[in-house]
Amino acid sequence: PVAEQYDLLVPLTRWVLREVGAQHAAWRRQDLDLVVGINLHARHLSTGTLVDDVFSALAESGMPPGNLVCELTETSVAEDPECAASQLAELRRRGVEVSIDDFGSGFSSLGQLVNLPTGVLKIDRSLVAFTEGRESHAAAAIAAIVALGRACGSESLAEGVETAEQLALATALGCTFAQGYHLARPMPAADL
């Protein structure tokens, strides 16, 4: 909220893009070929400069476009869906992946899924971290999202995987990717 109040969201995203590029270059020198995801805010989409900002940072660092995933929540495109879709399509056309974060939480819109050019659906942790006795319900929801994503040409990522059981379920249901404390906790880049 403070960054938004002082109109710092776009400058902060530009800084994050440069830092990600620099860190990726450092990892490449260590023979680590990693994919890095960054979160985008609606404010950046509404400026119309997102594509230029992303590719400027990639060019500066030498980071390949295929190693960057731009993540956004469904609500972040609500301000100007056509402008957002145009920029996201251009990112994907030029090799940067785009994902919808927290899919399955709140008011997920199938219209957004159909209209947004995304390649990854990040299944919200609330579905992955099912409560005792609710595994079959969680499995049904995850399977539906995986199938829906596949039908729309998207892969799926299970967020918030904290146990071997959750990872096994996500894998069995066809999730392409997973993230969470079971796999690794947040850490300094040098410790990776």
Q: Residue 187: left if φ>0, alpha if ψ -120 to 50, beta else—which one?
A: beta
Let me know: does 85 contact 117? Beta carbons within 8 Å: yes
Q: Which residues pair with 70 in a beta bridge?
A: 38, 98
Which residue matches tokens 């900002």?
A: 53
62 phi and psi, to 5 degrees?
80, 10
**Is 159 considered catalytic here?**
yes
Q: Give me the catalytic one of 71, 74, 97, 159.
A: 159
d(CA 38, CA 48): 18
Give catalytic residues, as residue numbers: 159
